[in-house]
Amino acid sequence: MSGPRSAALAVALLVHAAVLSQQIFPDGRMRFGAADALAVMTWLALVFYWVESLSSRLDGLHMLALPAAAICASIPVVWPGRHEIGNADNLLFRAHFVMAMTAYSLFTLAALHAMLMAAVERDLHRGRLIRLLESMPPLLVMEGLLFRLITLAFVLLTATLITGIAFSDQVFGKPLSFNHKTVFAVLGWLVFGILLAGRHFRGWRGRLALRWTLGGFFTLLLAYIGTQFVLEVMLGRA
């Protein structure tokens, strides 16, 4: 990424961070909803993209990352459903929340990266690359970055589930609540766990790996975003 473009993105990220802070932490309280989760996820994904772009060639990823972040940043305006988080000062909850948002942001970046890889692979099979994709690094390099993102995100997702279980046991007296959020979160964890195992033991790559990546990502989206959408929009309750 060029110097001026990198600086412009850094300024935009700082401004977006200030807006998110005012929306989520009004008057020292924490109010959060599914739209905020989307905005935070894509903001963090762009932060990781910006950091990685300082040392790696990620020229084409901004074509997907920037529009996705712009769309998600505007969603809280049209879908402002938020509820107050009653245990926001609990250390376990804070650890759970930070790791969850970080894991989701890395999976978001991995999913966007997988979409870009699919576009590059499709055009290579056709014997041509559109101009916007010509500056992309080789597919093997892109694949290596994809699995680094997934591995780190999987570790954080595992820690998220562990802290979530500990928090639930501490506050509610039971380690797990078998609701839609829990089921889809565990399913997403299993999908990415199988993908990483398949990569390590069977050498999974190419379209198979991309499909598992996108399948796991959308499963995780259903865990919180999908559940909250049903509750807040379709059922009209937080």
| Res 50 pLDDT > 70 | yes
Q: What is the pLDDT of residues 67-116, one digit of tens each?
A: 888 888 888 777 766 778 878 888 889 999 999 999 999 999 999 989 88
Cα–Cα distance, 166 to 175 (Å, whole number): 6
167 CB-near residues (< 8 Å, 6+ apart): 87, 90, 92, 93, 96
The domain locations on the chain are 3-79+86-234
Q: How many residues does the chain have?
A: 238
Q: Which residues pair with 84 in a beta bridge?
A: 31
Q: What is the pLDDT of residues 119-154, one digit of tens each?
A: 877 776 666 655 555 566 777 888 888 999 999 999
Average pLDDT on 189-193 reads 97
Contact 113, 107 (CB under 8 A): no
What is the structure's pLDDT at 237? Answer: 56
